[in-house]
A and B are shown apart, each in its own frame.
Chain A
Amino acid sequence: GAVVSQHPSRVICKSGTSVKIECRSLDFQATTMFWYRQFPKQSLMLMATSNEGSKATYEQGVEKDKFLINHASLTLSTLTVTSAHPEDSSFYICSALDVNTGELFFGEGSRLTVL
């Protein structure tokens, strides 16, 4: 099946620093990618929809200046958590939509810990 690579898988940072997470579709083009946040034992919470070459669409309650999303190519979207604080610690997951098949594939997730 199609592969979506997410990096880094784990990151620990100090409060106030910024962290970038990458999401790559390795063997298909993805004009649309999604970013989620997942709390322990809860389902995925959609943060934003990222469209190649245009601004991301954020879900209600998600700060766009806090969570910067860039989708510069058909295979890469990035999520930057700016000025991270301990409450931003979470599991972040991306997914990519294969435009040819209509199937949605997920990355492995990134565990962010802000000290």
Chain B
Amino acid sequence: EDQVTQSPEALRLQEGESSSLNCSYTVSGLRGLFWYRQDPGKGPEFLFTLYSAGEEKEKERLKATLTKKESFLHITAPKPEDSATYLCAVHYTGNQFYFGTGTSLTVIP
């Protein structure tokens, strides 16, 4: 069954402690993989789209990478303001999207 799995469910980091979030997928017919940031009480904010294995994109302290089976969101030297829930979504044929359940990131000062 097609699905998207994110890990870990929750992550606590000290400020400056780099780490990675994982999004693995078993969807066939991938059209794109998206990363979003969601703050409490708000809609998800678009971060990146990745389309093919080997692709990488960066934005400030965040870097997203994609392989044939998973994507990583690397956070370098995080700050408390990076605390949020990070969602990944897979866009596949038929204009349908599968969402992961998110990783709740807390960065402690």
Contacts and interface: CB of A to CB of B under 8 A. Distances in A.
Interface residues of B, number: 22
Interface in B1-33: 31-32
B32 A102 contact: yes
Interface of B: 31-32, 34, 36, 41-46, 49, 87, 89, 91, 95-97, 99-102, 104
A106 interface: yes
17 contacts: A6-B43, A32-B95, A41-B104, A44-B44, A44-B87, A46-B97, A46-B99, A49-B95, A93-B43, A95-B43, A97-B95, A101-B49, A103-B32, A104-B89, A104-B91, A108-B42, A109-B41
B91 A91 contact: no
**Chain B interface main SS type:** strand
A28 B15 CA distance: 38
